[in-house]
Amino acid sequence: MNIEVNNISVEANNGETILDVLKRNNIHVPTLCHIKDMLPSGACRICIVEDIKTGKLIPSCSFPAYDGLKIKTHSYKVINARKTIVELLLANHPNDCLYCDRNQNCDLQTLASDLQIKQPRIKGQKEHHNLDFSSVSLKRDPDKCILCGRCVRVCETIMGVSAISFINRGSRTFIGTALNEGLNTSSCINCGRCVVVCPTGALSEQTQYEKVIEAINNSEKTVVVQYAPAISVSLAEFFDIEAGTDVNGKMNAALRRLGFDKVFDTTFSADLTIMEEGTELINRLQNGGKLPMFTSCCPAWIKYAEEFLPDMLDNISTCKSPQQMLGAIIKTYFAEKIGTKPENIYSVSIMPCVAKKFEEQRVEMGSESISDIDAVLTTRELAELIKTYGIDFKNLEPESADSPHGERSTAGKLFGVSGGVMEAAIRTAYAKLTGNELEDLKVEAVRGLEGRKEAKLNINGFELGVAVVSGLANAIQLIDEIKKGRSDIHFVEIMACPGGCINGGGQKLHSDIEDIKKRMQSLYIIDIDENEPLKVSHKNKEVLDLYEKFLGEPNSHKAHELLHTKYHKRDVLL
């Protein structure tokens, strides 16, 4: 069928909303509350268009297209209505744009500019709520909330957590936690999905920016940095470089120019994780251990399990995440190697995730009052740091990471995408159990951005069942099946963020799905690159050298002391 948009005939399909049709035809209409691929809430009315036949203003996000419909997207009436909506929002909004985390990256600010709102026309009494700095990962400024509901919807629908919701009614409505307590006592899992979808500065990460700068300028500290596998294919977008471009070498150079003494690649410890986790899986399979075994790389998933699935904690691998494993090795093996005390090393990690800020301060993540990691910066914070120091990122000459924790396999690099941990583990587990390498290292069944993937693999006559889920709502469905008796799944990879770390809560805000796909494809391209000879974790020479000189063997007593941990039931306010 056809509809008429701004006097131009446009083709529409049955079941599409007006907004669907407009977006498919690259006709811009602003939105605030809308989230792609989710049912419309129609809360903000910014997306209104004018029905020419009736003269009515209709919300394009929820109004179905029909044959013969005629609309204007930017008529005089539409623009005035949108302008009034934004002015009403601004009337109850703080005027501290210069100091806001989202300055020049705020949907409300952009709308005000586009609609030529230059001075306040509507005045009223502003609401005032307490700032919430209780969480180590996130901070909340309810005064900047415009009640679009995006955060509430992703927390409930994508994550299955519902840590925040609408409180009160009418003009007294605001978004808060259960009993309006701090985020630290709520069921929040620190995933940061709310930060990613928030259109203003109402939600943002707790920054450790100043701590890192202070450490770099402390001559008594050896400041070491590591970066996650997903960072090198995500950072480019902050510097007007094609999305998905692998800027690993430029990033190494930038980190040295920032003043870090050593630059390590967390992909090294992804390989180390596979050695430990693969050995643990084999032991469980051969010795009647608790199955299925769940991965433990994602701290948001771990906190979810501690709060909502305490009866399943024994199913979770005891391995620390790659971030924490490398942190532990840096404060022990590396400290010995350079002849310094652990307390004289300041260890920083660059992560695509805000939950890593929560993970690094857990009491389990260290020993003898020495934390494995001292500070965590997100991809966004790293980009800000590089810009603050005036580094010409685009024109940097590529450099390599430092040894002894810089070598990595392409299998470890796949940790950045949903299914990557599983694929890397399958390659190593197969080799350990059969004595042979997989003929085709590519495990297609666990690749892609789908929220749930399953596969069966024949290993020496045993059919190993594996599952990969991202987005905790998908994980909940699978776990319900397992609780009801499903027994054909032995190993499960769980990532809180849809698509995995390439779409983490610390990545670039407003990331387009096509950009996320490009990040994923870049990791797959690295894996098949002929110039990348190391394809499996168990052949990483630096990892093998670490076992020979320091750890002994995978799952040894020393490895368990440094690289493994335990998780505990948490009580939350509900």
Question: What 3-state class would DSSP assign to 171?
Answer: helix
Identified catalytic residue from 60, 137, 317, 349: 317
**Burial class of residue 120 (count of CB atoms within 10 Å of its CB; 0-12, 13-18, 19+):** exposed
**Burial class of residue 272 (count of CB atoms within 10 Å of its CB; 0-12, 13-18, 19+):** buried
Asked if residue 446 lies in contact with residue 524, where contact means CB atoms within 8 angstroms, the answer is: no
> What residues form DSSP beta bridges with 11?
2
400 is catalytic: no
Identified catalytic residue from 100, 188, 297, 298: 297
Instruction: List Cα–Cα distances, 168 to 173, 174, 177, 180, in angstroms.
Output: 5, 7, 12, 11
In the chain the first and final C-alpha atoms are separated, in Å, by 48
148 is catalytic: no
Identified catalytic residue from 144, 501, 518, 522: 501
**Distance between CA atoms of residues 375 and 361, nearest Å:** 9
106 is catalytic: no
**Distance between CA atoms of residues 415 and 525, nearest Å:** 14
Identified catalytic residue from 16, 50, 205, 277: 277
Identified catalytic residue from 4, 156, 181, 364: 364
317 is catalytic: yes
The runs of H, that is alpha helices, within 99-245 are 107-114, 150-153, 193-197, 209-216
Neighbours of 84 (CB within 10 A): 14
Rounded CA Rg of the chain: 25
> Nearest-5° angle of CA 135, CA 138, CA 141?
100
337 is catalytic: no
277 is catalytic: yes
Identified catalytic residue from 237, 306, 359, 423: 359
Asked if residue 542 lies in contact with residue 403, where contact means CB atoms within 8 angstroms, the answer is: yes
**Distance between CA atoms of residues 71 and 61, nearest Å:** 14
Residues 6+ apart with CB under 8 A from 57: 45, 48, 49, 50, 51, 77, 78, 81
Identified catalytic residue from 144, 303, 356, 518: 356
User: Tokens for 443?
Assistant: 């495990």
**Burial class of residue 255 (count of CB atoms within 10 Å of its CB; 0-12, 13-18, 19+):** buried
Instruction: List Cα–Cα distances, 61 to 36, 39, 40, 54, in angstroms.
Output: 10, 9, 6, 18
Identified catalytic residue from 280, 307, 360, 493: 280
**Distance between CA atoms of residues 569 and 562, nearest Å:** 22
Catalytic positions: 277, 280, 297, 317, 356, 359, 364, 501
